[in-house]
């Protein structure tokens, strides 16, 4: 009798514990992850219109200011390469990531905030700012003529954002350093070349690039590796004594169109960033460019590969479960 009672007591206690753990897991799941990895269709009926709401907002902001498309794409890259894809770049503050030098020229914050506000009305405390930014980056590509892809969702928002953490691949980096930086984020060399291909839209500040076109390494001459026919074009757009904050396009001849024109310009040495130009000199990255341009077998489709690489990047160090939260406003923690 006593033994049977003890077994029954143990069984009841076990079932109570299982119920408690299950309930806790369900509560965590309803708030954005419960420890699960992001997946396509994550929100389901809890926020059926999440993708269409984000798309509508981004479309309006890109229509009013086309610079928002490359701005949002660049913002997503900067977010994922610092503390993972957790929306920490969106947080405001005197020492937040937004204040770091590479992030001061980012655009598109208003679009993310508006999408968040509309989603808080449609499905309160459900969709993270990190997911909104990830979806917005895809819309930026699609709106400029690029190919779309299915976006895994279910990230949580990070609570930490520090300018001192912002260490990003730089515009003067040699190929080997670019490879190491991407490998540190679980991205391979195909991902590197393909994601750099995103420079097919966007601009760079004249103050950042004109040294190569007037006084490369203190020689008083342009970088000899630049196509000589391209040099005067950039010199005219970025005069030596001109406004350093003026902008020059990254993809000459295909402004605002998401295509392979930028990769063709890399092949022709007609690009403004040194980190882009050196991709043609390295045998491995050069071969990938040739495959993406259909000049080498097996060929690669740029649109398809870009989508694959964007998905891989969007899963870098994502926050789930107790590691993050669902912010009510993207610019501040709850």
Instruction: For residue 269, say whether it is annotated as part of any ligand binding site.
Output: no
Residue 78 annotated in active site: yes
Q: Are 200 and 251 in contact (CB under 8 A)?
A: yes
Instruction: For residue 97, say whether it is annotated as part of any ligand binding site.
Output: yes
CA angle 38–83–122, rounded 5-degree value: 45
The residue annotated as part of the active site, out of 61, 76, 78, 155, is: 78
Other CB atoms within a 10 A radius of the CB of residue 303 amount to 20
Instruction: For residue 200, say whether it is annotated as part of any ligand binding site.
Output: yes
Q: Sign of the CA dihedral 238, 240, 245, 251?
A: positive
Other CB atoms within a 10 A radius of the CB of residue 92 amount to 14
Instruction: For residue 87, say whether it is annotated as part of any ligand binding site.
Output: no
DSSP lists the bridge partners of residue 153 as 39
Contacts within 8 Å (CB) and 24+ apart, 299-308: 300/190, 302/194, 302/197, 302/259, 302/260, 302/263, 303/146, 303/147, 304/147, 305/190, 305/194, 306/141, 306/146, 306/147, 306/149, 306/194, 306/195, 306/197, 306/198, 307/147, 307/148, 307/149, 308/149, 308/194
Instruction: For residue 169, say whether it is annotated as part of any ligand binding site.
Output: yes
Instruction: For residue 76, say whether it is annotated as part of any ligand binding site.
Output: no
Report how far residue 243's alpha carbon sits from residue 210's, in angstroms, rounded to the nearest whole number: 11
Q: What is the token pair recorded at 152?
A: 């895994």
Instruction: For residue 199, say whether it is annotated as part of any ligand binding site.
Output: yes
Q: Encode burial over 7-45: b for 16+ CB neighbours within 10 A, e otherwise.
A: eeeeeeeeeeeeeeeeeeeeebbebbbbeeebeeebbee
Instruction: For residue 88, say whether it is annotated as part of any ligand binding site.
Output: yes
User: Which residues are documented as binding site for Ca(2+)?
Assistant: 79, 82, 84, 86, 88, 97, 200, 251, 259
User: Which residues are documented as binding site?
Assistant: 79, 82, 84, 86, 88, 97, 169, 199-200, 251, 259
User: Which residues are documented as binding site for substrate?
Assistant: 169
User: Which residues are documented as binding site for heme b?
Assistant: 199
Catalytic residues: 78
């Amino acid at each position: 009798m006593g033994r049977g009672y003890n077994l029954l007591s143990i069984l009841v206690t076990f079932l109570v514990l299982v119920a408690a753990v299950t309930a806790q897991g369900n509560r965590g799941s309803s708030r954005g992850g419960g420890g699960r990895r992001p997946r396509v269709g994550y929100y389901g009926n809890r926020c059926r219109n999440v993708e269409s709401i984000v798309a509508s907002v981004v479309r309006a902001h890109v229509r009013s200011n086309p610079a928002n498309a490359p701005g949002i794409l660049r913002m997503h890259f900067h977010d994922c390469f610092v503390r993972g894809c957790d929306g920490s770049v969106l947080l405001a503050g005197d020492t937040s990531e937004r204040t770091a030098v590479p992030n001061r020229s980012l655009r598109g914050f208003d679009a993310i905030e508006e999408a968040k506000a509309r989603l808080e009305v449609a499905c309160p405390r459900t969709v993270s700012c990190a997911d909104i930014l990830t979806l917005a980056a895809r819309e930026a590509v699609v709106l400029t003529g690029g190919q779309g892809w299915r976006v895994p969702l279910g990230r949580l928002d990070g609570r930490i954002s520090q300018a001192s953490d912002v260490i990003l691949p730089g515009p003067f980096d040699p190929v080997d350093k670019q490879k190491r930086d991407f490998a540190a984020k679980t991205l391979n060399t195909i991902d590197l070349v393909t994601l750099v291909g995103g420079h097919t839209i966007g601009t760079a500040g004249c103050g950042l690039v004109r040294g190569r076109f007037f006084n490369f390494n203190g020689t008083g001459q342009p970088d000899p590796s630049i196509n000589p026919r391209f040099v005067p074009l950039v010199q005219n757009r970025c005069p030596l004594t001109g406004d350093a904050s003026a902008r020059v396009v990254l993809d000459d001849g295909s402004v605002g169109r998401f295509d392979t024109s930028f990769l063709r310009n890399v092949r022709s040495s007609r690009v403004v960033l040194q980190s882009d130009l050196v991709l043609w000199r390295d045998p491995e990255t050069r071969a990938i460019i040739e495959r993406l341009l259909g000049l080498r077998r097996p060929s690669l489709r740029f649109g398809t590969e870009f989508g694959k690489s964007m998905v891989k990047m969007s899963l870098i160090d994502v926050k789930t479960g107790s590691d993050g939260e669902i912010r009510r406003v993207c610019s501040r923690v709850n």
